[in-house]
Amino acid sequence: MTIEVQIMKIGGSCLSNARSFDRILKIIEETPTSIVLVFSAFNSITDLLIQTIEYACEGNSQPLNAKLKEIQDFHNDIITALFSDYPKVYNEMRLMLQEVIGKLVYLLEELKEFGWSPYFKDSIISFGEKLSNAIISRFLNLHQIDHILYHGEDLIITNDHFGDAIANLQYTQKRIERDLIPRLVNNHYKRVFCVEGFIGRSVSGLTTTLGRGGTDYTAAVIARALAVSGKFSSISLTLWKDVAGIYSADPKFVQHARYLNSISYAMAKELSFFGAKILHPKCISIIESFNIPVYIKKFPDNDQTEGIETPFKKEDHGTLISSQDGDKNIYSISIIQEAYIVTVSSETFVNAPGILGEIFSKLGEEEISVNVVTQSSSEINTSFIISKTDGPEAIKILKSNPNFEEWFKIKMELVGVVAIIGRDIANSKNQMKIYQALSKMGINPIAVAQASDALNISIVVPKNDVKPAANAINEVFFKPMSVKK
């Protein structure tokens, strides 16, 4: 039996208003295979929920109530637009919304009383996906789309790392093989399955969330589970976004950003690690060994994207991520607009082994990630990049250590990072082009690091030079082109 299935994630930026629902119908109608749809919360709702948590922890009732009203009004507007012509359904959905908001208020009151905890936060921000999927499911029923809705907690079993949980692939595989795959196999033609993205549950039964790119991760975990089962002849993963695919650089900061037809899994992971928010590297890591093709596509609409040169219409296939190398040696320039470079130096500990390990160990204990590391051979001077949000805490941790405080000089500077990513980046001619481009702009790198796999070079520059540096390098490797009409 030949069974083809497409897993499709539809992100929050695509779910901004009632018109989005007609586009969901269009996608379903134009998909000739079985389809698993993984939905995010509606646009900006997760951010609003996080703000309610902050105000609840502060005991600040007035802005808390204002944010709750904003959340309720947003969903109520969508319910009115979708269901007002169907009084019974309309009343049913308004009642559902009131009940969910009531549960949310109860949890926030608990938070006020008992204080902040990671579990409370995950439980509260999961309401965004629960609301969006409930409304989408009712809309599909109204339009006679035969489907099944799965709660995220029913399929995705995770560790207990609240806020950025990782799927327990063994337990999740069992759940998906028990609850989803039999229905896909037995009703494989034009059946639709909806799944709440971003949400899972720990082995102990507590709601968890999957962090940035969590809905992408949900979709990738499902795609992997279907591949492991061996019951499907064809599996693909499509991530519907508010952009038409992956570009040579962020068009918000770089002129003449070029659309990329295809890139490899390895390059996609590099891009996502260095600031590109198109997808999370953990999504690729779990599916690349199964050669599942991933498409990044623009959610259907009539908007035009300014400042982006696209070699064909947006309605085409999008950017393909696969095991094959893409169509260029240098794929993309990714930037981190603001980060801190921390420099730790000491003449006292020249040639003393293990200094770097101790520094990173202390930061790792507080879950502070480090990248772009440069070091002198004697370990007298070590510099590394950390996120802007982690900077002050990192300095506090290092200075609170008696050894570091007494024997080391520690300084921190706000900088930017430009990462040039491609399989041919180690080529001396390409490196010469990069440094010549920076030299012409009068930009002096603060630090440079090259990956051991030769897939990227990261250049630390003064914060104000990030944009001109990225534009200069992009012009070298991606010449302006005319847009095909």
Other CB atoms closer than 10 Å to residue 285's CB: what's the count? Answer: 14
Whole-number Å distance between alpha carbons of 317 and 260: 11
Residues 63, 175 within the same domain: yes
With beta carbons less than 8 A apart as the criterion, state whether 245 and 318 touch.
yes
In a domain, 314, yes or no: no
Residues 218, 89 within the same domain: yes
CATH number reported for the structural domain that contains residue 429 in this entry? 3.30.2130.10
Sign of the dihedral defined by the CA atoms of residues 199, 205, 206, 210, in that order: negative
Residues 233, 336 within the same domain: no
Domain boundary among 208, 242, 276: 242
Note the Cα 410 to chain centre separation in Å: 32
The token pair at 433 is 């082009």
How many domains is the chain partitioned into structurally?
2
Whole-number Å distance between alpha carbons of 176 and 219: 12
The token pair at 408 is 């080391």
> What tens digit of pLDDT does each residue of 259-307 get?
888 888 888 887 776 655 677 778 899 999 999 999 999 888 644 444 4
In a domain, 247, yes or no: no
Whole-number Å distance between alpha carbons of 58 and 103: 20
In a domain, 400, yes or no: yes
b/e burial code for range 365-391 (CB count within 10 A of at least 16 → b):
eeebebbbebeeeebbebbbbbeeebb
H helix intervals, 401-479: 402-407, 428-440, 466-477
Q: Domain limits at 360?
A: 332-477
**Quick one: pLDDT at residue 62?**
95
Give 141's Cβ-side CA count (13 Å radius).
Answer: 12
Residues 235, 374 within the same domain: no
CATH number reported for the structural domain that contains residue 33 in this entry? 3.40.1160.10
Domain boundary among 198, 222, 242: 242
**Which residues have C-beta within 8 Å of that of residue 199, sequence separation ≥ 6?**
126, 129, 130, 151, 152, 153, 156, 207, 208, 209, 210, 214, 218
> What tens digit of pLDDT does each residue of 318-347 get?
899 999 876 566 678 888 899 999 988 876
Q: DSSP letters along 128-139, please?
A: HHHHHHHHHHHH
pTM for the model: 0.87
With beta carbons less than 8 A apart as the criterion, state whether 272 and 329 touch.
no
> What tens digit of pLDDT does each residue of 215-258 get?
999 999 999 999 999 999 999 999 998 888 888 888 888 888 88
Residues 236, 362 within the same domain: no
Whole-number Å distance between alpha carbons of 352 and 358: 12
Residue reference for tokens 């698993």: 36
Q: Which of 5-14, 195-204, 360-369, 463-472 has the lowest mean pLDDT?
A: 360-369
Domain boundary among 242, 277, 293: 242
Q: In what order do the strands lie in the sheet with 257-260?
A: 246-247, 257-260, 308-309
In a domain, 31, yes or no: yes
Write down the mean pLDDT value for the chain: 87
What's 348-411 look like in SS3? CCCCCCCHHHHHHHHHHHCCCCCEEEEECCCCCEEEEEEECCCHHHHHHHHHHCHHHHHHCEEE
**Which residues have C-beta within 8 Å of that of residue 62, sequence separation ≥ 6?**
none
